[in-house]
């Protein structure tokens, strides 16, 4: 057994160098990309099917609201969204837990809870404008979530929905619900479908 001048005994008789702060910094730099990819994979697996379900619900709900007259259209649209909410809780992989999941889940709950209050404040003159307002509000939630969770594709989808909603209200106000529902639904469904590639 040899004695190391730095005070370490090496049973193999080899020189032993105590890691320095520079070594630790280099190791952390090498681990950072791996950690980032792992978080992205966990996020994709966790939100793939809920995004797909909500995208299809938006499309179905918008078509129902636009073409089924009376309260029946609103009821069908609400049922589609309720189905997507159920899918979110039933099929979301419970083995995947993101480090920010509880915090952002609480933010989403707050957003949904205060939505009726914001509708009351805005007092939209008809149901079509109310639906577009709610869709825009939830799209802003997607945008902010995407920024906070560093989920750029979801942030882009949210921003796109808000822009489409503003344009549709000006250009085709009578079909704004249909345009926003289909545009937003296709965006969410496409993103969810793309993220389901990890399950193949």
Structure tokens at 128: 């079509």
- Whether 13 shows a pLDDT value over 70: the answer reads no
Report the pLDDT averaged over residues 104-132. 83
Report the pLDDT averaged over residues 40-67. 83
* Full-model pTM: 0.73
Average pLDDT over all residues of the chain: 79
pLDDT tens, residue by residue, 137-190:
999 999 988 888 788 999 999 999 999 999 999 999 999 999 999 999 999 999
Cα 74 to Cα 125: distance, rounded to the nearest angstrom: 16
| Helix segments in 68-200, DSSP class H | 71-91, 101-122, 127-148, 152-171, 176-195
What element of type H or E holds 63? helix 21-67
DSSP annotation string for 11-59: TT--------HHHHHHHHHHHHHHHHHHHHHHHHHHHHHHHHHHHHHHH
Domain boundaries, the chain: 19-199
The residue ranking higher by pLDDT, 108 or 76, is 76
């Amino acid at each position: 057994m040899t004695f190391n001048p730095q005070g370490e005994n090496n049973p193999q008789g080899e020189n032993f160098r105590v890691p320095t702060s520079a070594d630790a910094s280099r190791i952390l730099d090498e681990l950072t990309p791996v950690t980032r990819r792992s978080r992205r994979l966990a996020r994709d697996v966790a939100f793939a099917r809920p995004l797909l379900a909500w995208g299809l619900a938006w499309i179905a709900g918008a078509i129902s609201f636009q073409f089924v007259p009376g309260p029946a259209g609103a009821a069908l649209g609400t049922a589609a969204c309720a189905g997507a909410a159920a899918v979110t809780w039933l099929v979301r992989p419970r083995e995947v837990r993101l480090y920010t999941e509880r915090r952002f889940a609480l933010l989403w709950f707050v957003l949904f809870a205060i939505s009726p209050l914001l509708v009351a404040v805005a007092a939209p003159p008809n149901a079509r404008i109310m639906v577009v307002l709610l869709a825009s509000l939830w799209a802003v939630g997607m945008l902010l979530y995407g920024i906070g969770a560093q989920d750029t594709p979801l942030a882009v989808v949210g921003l796109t929905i808000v822009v489409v909603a503003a344009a549709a209200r000006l250009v085709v106000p009578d079909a704004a619900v249909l345009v926003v529902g289909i545009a937003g639904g296709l965006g969410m469904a496409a993103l969810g479908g793309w993220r389901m590639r990890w399950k193949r």
